[in-house]
Amino acid sequence: MHTKTIVELAQGLKNKDFSCVELTQYYLDRIRQSDLNAFITVTDELALAQAQAADDKIALGNASILTGIPYAHKDIFCTKGVKTSAGSKMLDTFVSPYDATVSQKLNQADLVMLGKTNMDEFAMGSSSENSFYGAVKNPWNRLKIPGGSSGGSAASVAGGLSCFATGTDTGGSIRQPASLCSITGLKPTYGRISRYGMIAYASSLDQAGPMTKTAQDAAIVLNVMAGFDEKDSTSAEQKVPDYTTNLNDSMKGLTIGLPKEFFSSGLDDEVANHIMAAVKEFEAMGAIVKEVSLPNSIYAIPAYYIVAPCECSSNLSRLDGVRYGYRAKEPKNLEDLYLRSRSEGFGEEVKRRIMIGAYALSAGYYDAYYLKAQKVRHLISDDFKKVFEQVDVIMGPVSPTTAFDLDSVKDPVSMYLADIYTLSTNLAGLPGMSIPAGFAQNLPVGLQLIGNYWSESKLLNIAHQFQQATDYHSQTPCKYKTVGTNR
């Protein structure tokens, strides 16, 4: 049952092959038996209550395709009455008094929330090891990282602990774990999905999106998640199409751009071979391939790691031990309260980024660092605009390697390089996807699709057609020898 897609489960519920309550209990049992550490909070009672309500709705004939489908919610979205920790000790006791807009939309769609997934603290990381609740394990090999920061969400889908999951992507945090866990992950255009109630890391970069088994499932979920929200000043007043409408459009005449910068030194040879094999699959379907250049993408890492820390240092300043969140015990004075609450409540990577951001924004350094990074950001965006005058979609790798060993990367800069192919998309605010494209030494490889603004329908169409021609997306960890477990 856990290998079924949203479409397949919806059909099973419609045919009364099983009830929502039975389906939900099945997933809850799998979560309890799992050793992936994919969840921070499991909401058994809430899930079963939502499942019963969904069964009642189905009985009345008022169900939609998503009614009663169990999902996992990244623990960065506020959920009324349920702990929302963002993977941090700082918010370990925080129970949100309201729902994020995404949470509200999913509730209105009669979905069943199984729980909140583990993640890098405040979405800062590429491995899901920077969590107060411990590292998440990759379902394909429990000695490997699942990617980050949405690693718990990716592991829950790949490991059969949920039908789909929500994720957020600030610099690749949906696409990179989707790639390393062999699922479909979509980061929409910036502003496509409301950020209201989504705990902010870098406000000009953060974007929510679906993490699913297939592109068709992603289209179905995006139909619910997308849309303008007056509570979010960065939400776009852009009409939401039905993302399932054009899934079966032909690939004939599609123009694919391959950035030469994405295929330079640093890319693993086996990963490159799988990416090129996927591109040839599109050529066989009638697509046209041409080499393009994104010359300023080589500056994406330094630009991102100035812009994002600057925004995070501002966003996290509200967590001071006074209003909510972790509070140091028996402070001597106000200064001691601030100092110890933040020192004890934040993890090392979060403190590192706060300090970088505070330094770059300080007097005398603002122009030299933050302002210059924003100028580079515009250059990166201009590169994409020029390329999209020539091609319909950009393709390339998501990650330079397959999943690496847990606790193997100690140097922060080396960790930052894991996002070398994804950061530029966020800096430009463009939509991007990762879809399964093969396996290198039994570890997943993802193909990245980058589209022009508001081209999610086209990306989903391209991804769906690839998944009709290949079966990588239907492979599950149980079909391979999984390391670090006897299952």
Q: Please give the positions annotated as active site.
A: 74, 149, 173
* Cβ atoms of residues 390 and 257 within 8 Å: yes
Measure the CA dihedral 49/51/52/58, to 10°: 150
Q: Could you tell me the end-to-end alpha-carbon distance of the chain, in angstroms, rounded to an integer?
A: 17
Supply the angle between the helices 348-361 and 300-315 in degrees, to the nearest 10.
100
Instruction: Work out whether strand 443-450 and strand 432-440 pair parallel, antiparallel, or are unpaired.
Output: antiparallel
